[in-house]
Amino acid sequence: MPSKLAHDYGPSATESWLLGYMGIEGSFVESLVNALQLPMMKPISVNEPKIQQLESDIRELWHVSEPEESDPYHKASTKIYSMLTSIATTTQSEKPMQNYRSTTNAKEMLRASVQYMEQHYMENLSLANIADTVGYSKQHFQRKFKEIYGVNPSHYLQRLRLHRGAELLSEHSELSVGEIATMVGMELNYFVRIFKREHGITPAKYRFTV
């Protein structure tokens, strides 16, 4: 259900229940929910194995914020994406004629993957990880991404990192090239080599031309 919506709920008079929930926010949420065709303000019926899996996923989310966990934001984001696509698969299996992986919705799913890359480019992302967040296999994700965007996702991510690196070089003279490479999720030598191939000059020289 949408945020900031007043509501109440409770078990029936004859049955008890176990309650678990999560709330999510961010610029990508609405487009992702629409892409997955998740029903708003309607219950979703799932079988017992699915309930157990969702319960396990929610408990895992609760523990992500514990002090000993490393990189909690990335772990939580990945798990939430995975949970939503799993729920979508369940709801769409009941409507085979409205498969959410149609051409139109594939564009929405891939747009969500682009938003995910834009929010996590500084992390150690793998194509398998990105594909999993939108419910695709790595091979299917690569094929659909190139079909719609004209480049493979790894190249898109690389250009995104280089673009952000160029912005940091021009806007933050106090940062070293090594620090900027780390901030955009790349190893220093690789960043310098790819940056020079893309721009024709090294990062160090680039910052004096802008």
pLDDT of 144 above 90: yes
Same domain, 79 and 129: yes
> Residue 91: which domain range?
29-150
Same domain, 144 and 167: no
Same domain, 71 and 166: no
Q: Identify the CATH number of the domain in which residue 178 sits.
A: 1.10.10.60
The answer to whether the beta carbons of residues 83 and 62 sit under 8 Å apart is no
pLDDT of 162 above 80: yes
Confidence of residue 98 (pLDDT cuts 50, 70, 90): very low
Q: What is the per-residue pLDDT for 138?
A: 92
The answer to whether the beta carbons of residues 113 and 156 sit under 8 Å apart is no
Distance CA 57, CA 73 (A): 15
Please, where are the H alpha helices in the chain?
29-36, 48-64, 72-93, 103-120, 127-133, 138-149, 153-171, 177-183, 188-199, 203-206
Q: pTM for the complete prediction?
A: 0.54
Encoding tokens for residue 4? Answer: 């900031």
Q: What is the mean pLDDT of residues 110-124?
A: 91
Same domain, 59 and 40: yes
- Residue 106 burial (CB count, 10 A): 20
Confidence of residue 40 (pLDDT cuts 50, 70, 90): low
Least confidently predicted of 6-10, 189-193, 196-200, 205-209: 6-10
Encoding tokens for residue 1? Answer: 């259900």
Give the single-character DSSP code of 38. Answer: P
- Residue 22 burial (CB count, 10 A): 13
Confidence of residue 99 (pLDDT cuts 50, 70, 90): very low
More confident residue, 26 or 107: 107
Same domain, 133 and 59: yes
Same domain, 33 and 125: yes
Domain count, the chain: 2
Q: Is 3 exposed, middle or buried (0-12, 13-18, 19+ CB in 10 A)?
A: exposed
More confident residue, 189 or 73: 189
Distance CA 96, CA 196 (A): 49
Same domain, 85 and 162: no
Least confidently predicted of 14-18, 95-99, 113-117: 95-99
More confident residue, 87 or 35: 87
Same domain, 86 and 187: no
Provide the mean pLDDT of the chain: 79
Same domain, 45 and 112: yes
